[in-house]
Amino acid sequence: MNFFKVGKKFTLVDMPGYGYRAPQDFVEMVEAYLQERHNLKRTFLLVDGVVGLQKTDHIAVDMLEEFGIPYVMVLTKIDRASRGVLLKNVLETQEFVKEKTQGCFPQLFLVSSLEFSGVHLLRCFVAHVTGNLPTVDAS
């Protein structure tokens, strides 16, 4: 796990190697971390926009649901998928979130790190859930 301090505001934890390259004890390590972090604000599950939800994603969702941890799905690499494939994966993921999850934020975030599309909105959401971007009360 890699820890990135974001100023004095919060720490972002990246768990690379998730999926097919994960070490054998990865699941146990992640489970322990998630269960012990009472100040955890949100978990972001990155799903490859080209291939859609995979078995490892379903395992992660099951774990997050079991522990009652709020999470968000982020479809990545949207620049690499054809429009048809991306649309299919977005619709399938939205349907999955709607029908099979309790703790998932209903809005998907679609991002491309190469084209930087969707990144600003995701950053704003992260700032909001960490208390660094208060919403304006219009009343």
pLDDT given for residue 133 in this prediction: 75
CATH assignment at residue 106: 3.40.50.300
The answer to whether position 16 is within a domain reads: no
d(CA 8, CA 3): 13
Q: Looking at the domain assignment, is residue 60 inside a domain?
A: yes
pLDDT at 89 (0 to 100): 97
Maximal CA-CA distance, the chain: 52
d(CA 34, CA 90): 27
User: Does residue 23 carry a pLDDT above 80?
Assistant: no
Please report whether residue 105 resides in a domain: yes
Q: Is pLDDT at 138 greater than 70 in this prediction?
A: no
Q: Sign of dihedral through CA atoms 10, 34, 1, 93?
A: negative
pLDDT interval class at 54 (50, 70, 90): very high
Give the tens place of pLDDT for each residue, 28-46: 788 888 888 888 889 999 9
pLDDT tens digit string along 97-131? Answer: 999 999 999 999 999 999 999 999 999 999 899 88
Number of structural domains (the chain) is: 1
- Domain limits for position 56: 44-116
Q: Is residue 25 part of a domain?
A: no
**pLDDT tens digit string along 59-102?**
889 989 999 999 999 999 999 999 999 999 999 999 999 999 99
Rounded Cα distance, 70 and 110, in Å: 18
More confident residue, 131 or 27: 131
pTM: 0.86
Tell whether the model's pLDDT for residue 18 goes beyond 80: no
Give per-residue burial for 30-54: e unless 16+ CB within 10 Å, then b. Answer: beeebeeeeeeeebbbbbbbbebbe
pLDDT of residue 86: 97
- The answer to whether residue 139 scores a pLDDT higher than 60 is no
Burial of 107 (0-12, 13-18, 19+ CB in 10 A): exposed
- Residue 58 falls inside a structural domain: yes
Which stretch of DSSP H or E encloses residue 20? none
The helix or strand, by DSSP H or E, that contains position 134, with its residue range, turns out to be none
